[in-house]
Amino acid sequence: MDENDGITRRDFLKGVGMAGGAAASSPLLNLDAAAEESDAPASSTRSRPTPGFMRPQQNEFRNLLDLCGLWQFQLDPTRPTIFASVMGGPREWIKLVDVAGVNRYYGWYAEGGQLNWAEETLEKDLDALHAYLAKPIILTEFGADTIAGYHSQPPEMWSEDYQADMLGRYLDVAEKRPFMAGTILWCFADFRTGQSIIRAEGMNQKGVFTRVRRPKAAAHMLRSRWHKT
């Protein structure tokens, strides 16, 4: 369907939440997706697994990254690989792939409620990262949890207004930088998660649509923004 509709996608190999020995001992879990999608025309890049908050000295995940990279190259050497690095992740690992992917949540998990500060931090972070890597960068995750129907002026965390403002600022920052190759907001729609103090109602509510696909303010903002371009 993607290629018929003119949509490109980033294939993501399964590995989120894997850590330590489990990641190193289960590499085949991360290779099935690459083999399955090896001929899909719409697949522009393949993503190696995100290593969570593991540190460089824990090199079992680096071994997994190398294994996945070799497997992907054998399947199709023409498609670039991308690595989605979490905030605070080692920059050295991003050098292993063709396109730098960064997950950033300034304004949410860091500098919460301080969007002016968060925007400035994001700008400095991306500029410094590009100076170090000298390769294209994609924002592979950014977003804010939002309780549908909650509004606040000035925008406060968890409100639809805050989510729309934060996403708009991230897109503005990316559009001003020629080295930014793209943005992937997190995420399309709310979804069920395990219970947690950061998961109101047991949901990840970063979607621009609710779980039943009703648009939040951010969805209307994005539609207006993209319609103009």
For the chain, the domain total comes to 1
Look up the CATH number of the domain holding residue 194.
3.20.20.80
Say if residue 187 is preceded by a cis peptide, omega within 30 of 0. yes
The pLDDT value given to residue 67: 65
pLDDT band at 39 (very low <50, low <70, confident <90, very high): low
Q: Are 160 and 111 in contact (CB under 8 A)?
A: no
Give residue-wise pLDDT tens across range 189-227. 999 998 889 888 899 999 999 999 999 999 999 999 988
Handedness of CA 210, 215, 217, 218 (dihedral sign): positive
Assess if residue 68 is contained within a domain.
yes
Assess if residue 1 is contained within a domain.
no
Assess if residue 187 is contained within a domain.
yes
Residues in the chain: 229
d(CA 166, CA 107) in angstroms, rounded, equals 7
Ordered alpha helix ranges (H), the chain? 20-25, 32-36, 60-75, 91-94, 115-133, 160-175, 217-228
Residue 228 tokens read as 């103009």
Give residue-wise pLDDT tens across range 136-159. 999 999 999 999 999 999 999 999
Assess if residue 3 is contained within a domain.
no
The pLDDT value given to residue 40: 55
The residue ranking higher by pLDDT, 198 or 131, is: 131
The residue ranking higher by pLDDT, 40 or 224, is: 224
Assess if residue 191 is contained within a domain.
yes
Assess if residue 64 is contained within a domain.
yes
Half-sphere exposure of 185 (CA within 13 A, CB side): 25
Using a 10 angstrom Cβ sphere, with 0-12 exposed, 13-18 middle and 19 or more buried, the burial of residue 53 is exposed
Give residue-wise pLDDT tens across range 42-100. 454 555 445 444 454 446 556 666 666 656 666 677 777 777 888 887 787 788 788 89
The pLDDT value given to residue 116: 97
Assess if residue 4 is contained within a domain.
no
d(CA 26, CA 31) in angstroms, rounded, equals 10
Assess if residue 2 is contained within a domain.
no
Expressed as residue numbers, the domain containing 74 is 9-228
The residue ranking higher by pLDDT, 21 or 96, is: 96
pLDDT at 1 over 50: no
d(CA 71, CA 77) in angstroms, rounded, equals 10
The pLDDT value given to residue 36: 53
